[in-house]
Amino acid sequence: MDDILEERICEVVARTFGVDEQDVDGDTTAQTLGSWTSLAHLRLLTNLQDAFGVRFTMAEMTNMTSVRAIEQTLAAKGVSA
């Protein structure tokens, strides 16, 4: 995948969840990051839409529970770094 895109996603994830950017990488998931709650997930989706200028479907929102899944979804929408 695109390292720069992953880096940008990690920045948004870290900012949204109030964690250090160094604690977020491509393997970060809702299960590995304690602050990734269902309510915080909604904030993350809004922040991602704003940061990348896209809109997500309900199916995409449901499946975006990891940095890797977010990256794949954005790439499928034609987003690149």
Q: Where are the domains of the chain?
A: 3-76
The pLDDT tens digits for 22-66 are 999 999 999 999 999 999 999 999 999 999 999 999 999 999 999
Burial class (CB in 10 A: 0-12, 13-18, 19+), 41: middle
Q: What 8-state DSSP symbol labels residue 65?
A: -
The CATH number of 3-76 is 1.10.1200.10
More confident residue, 28 or 80: 28
Residue 1 has pLDDT above 60, yes or no: no
> pLDDT at position 80, please?
82
| Claim: this prediction has a pTM higher than 0.85 | yes
